[in-house]
Amino acid sequence: MEMFRHMYPIFRHGFKGLLHSNSHIGLNFRTSRCTYFHPIPFCYRIHSSPECPVQSSEEEVVIALGSNVGDRIHNFNKALQMMKKLGVNITRHGCLYESEPAYVTEQPLFLNSAVRGTTKLGPHELLKALKQIEKDLGRQDGMRYGPRPIDLDILFYGKYKIESEDLIVPHERIWERSFVVAPLIDLLGSSIDNDNVASWHSLVGRRGGIFELWEKLGGESLIGSKGLRRVLPMGTHLWDWSEKTHVMGVLNLTPDSFSDGGKFLEVNVAVSQVRSLISEGADIIDIGAQSTRPNASRLSVDEELKRLIPVLDAVVKMPEVEGKLLSVDTFYAEVASEAVNRGAHIVNDVSGGQLDPKILSVVRDLGVPYIAMHMRGDPTTMQSNENLKYEDVCEQVASELYNRLHEAELAGIPIWRIIIDPGIGFSKKTEHNLELIMGLSNIRREIGKKSFAASHVPILLGPSRKRFLGEICNRSSPGERDPATIAVVTAGILAGANIIRVHNVGYGLDAAKVCDAMLKQQKSIS
């Protein structure tokens, strides 16, 4: 809720007042079937029938999604694909929420989200297209508010307020449903980016717009409760990253990695290390066959696959891996595709899509979580003087990370499948690394200016055994930096990290458990 409180000075004159101050300027014209009234510039009203002509220019729309029958994630993915084919260009996604059913409570839990996009379809054409998608995905007429494989509702259509027999926009019960308002808020940022957004706020009828409405419903205090969980599809389950910090264990299959290069090149040795990481409590195993240390030379796709595939195939068959997650650390689209097809659950890209742009469309089609890390340049150039220039490192890393996230969204990767990594040690000096670790909340806040959904995504922190810790503690050997690693991951978790990537999983897990206990205690008394 704190994120929204600073918004009120921006809206102190109120959206409603802003709208009404212009309502005397307007156009009023009639056709035989409908009436338009255009108060300029914020909100248009249409009393219409389906035959009512509407301008054919592109309009910005918000569409809510819900599902509680069958494979809910699959239903969402198919609906998004079909929307695109029918003329809706999706530009933003809300987070994914699991919610208890409303009105008719004896039914399965729902998944809910919302998307923002543009279309040239008129409002009734859009409604017809959405109804066809519902039908194609198996929705049948039946009990109102009952179970359904997919539910698609138009929340906003441009600046229009629409009232007809079969379409009301904004949706008539939007304001009482936290599971609708939560993903709707996600599609906004603390900065009002266009007149459409201003009109959506004005339609709420509250001085603080949608933000005030969200706080009245309970705001962020609702998230994590039994009735509304923010989740990310991870393997075969939905991950609520507010429940605990996850620990990612590192497996490097490289001869030249800075910490453990050359130790795990043989398949049997690598399998033994995975077994050890799991026994120490790792939730995720991150397997990398390409060194990304400073000045590392780049392997070809074939060379990386040659190292990776024999180990990955052996690891997937391990009984101990059941219930764990496997991540492939690569920036190559072809490697990501091969790894996921062989059993990896997550793609961890240190370049955030910059070194192989094809990886974004590949990850979209694979349907797995995508970790986008911040880095300038590549491993051979990332520590250049130019790439180490920052005026405000948290602000600039946040801005550059958001650009990567938005590009991933435009490529079709929903925000609910993205994890961010500020890139500790990549294009950073020691002081930059320290500021980022302590300033994770600042990164979220900065990203939130453009997208609240992006500001909510899980954060991965990977400072393990890195050079800056050796510089601070005078430890030249990476293996001697585990205590320093625990210090910074502790600070990072308390600052908002959700996943820690470490070489020493046992120490990392203990640190995570203590931090989680402290955060839980703090929450209980606040």
Residue numbers annotated as active site: 466, 501
Residue 501, amino acid: R
How many CA atoms are closer than 13 Å to the CA of 169, on its beta-carbon side?
Answer: 28
User: How many CB atoms are located within 10 Å of the residue 442 CB?
Assistant: 19
Output the six-digit token pair for 177: 């449903």
Question: Going along 96-245, which residue ranges are E strands?
Answer: 96-99, 110-119, 151-157, 160-163, 168-169, 228-234, 237-239
Q: Longest C-alpha distance within the chain, in Å? A: 82
Q: Write the DSSP string, 145-160.
A: T---S-EEEEEEETTE
> Would you state the structure tokens that stand for residue 150, as one six-digit string?
């997919």
Nearest of 127, 120, 118 to residue 152 by alpha carbon: 127
DSSP 453: H
Could you give the count of Cα atoms lying within 13 Å of 515 in the half-sphere of its Cβ? Answer: 27
Tokens encoding 450: 């453009």
> Helix or strand or coil: residue 472?
helix
CA–CA gap between residue 254 and residue 260 (Å, rounded): 8
State phi, psi for 99 to the nearest 5 degrees: -135, 155
Helix (H) or strand (E) holding 342: none
The total of other beta-carbon atoms located within 10 Å of residue 207's CB is: 16
Identity (one letter) of the amino acid at 245? T
Give yes or no for a contact between 28 and 37, defined as CB atoms under 8 angstroms apart: yes
Contact 321, 312 (CB under 8 A): no
Peptide bond into 233 cis (omega under 30): no
Q: 370 forms bridges with which residues in the sheet?
A: 347, 418
Three-state SS annotation for 422-449: CCCCCCCCHHHHHHHHHCHHHHHHHHHC
Q: Which helix (H) or strand (E) holds 73?
A: helix 72-85
Contact between 170 and 63 under an 8 Å Cβ cutoff? The reply is no
Residue 209 backbone dihedrals phi, psi, to 5 degrees: 60, -150
> How many CB atoms lie under 10 A from the CB of residue 477?
9
Element containing residue 301 per DSSP (H, E): helix 301-316
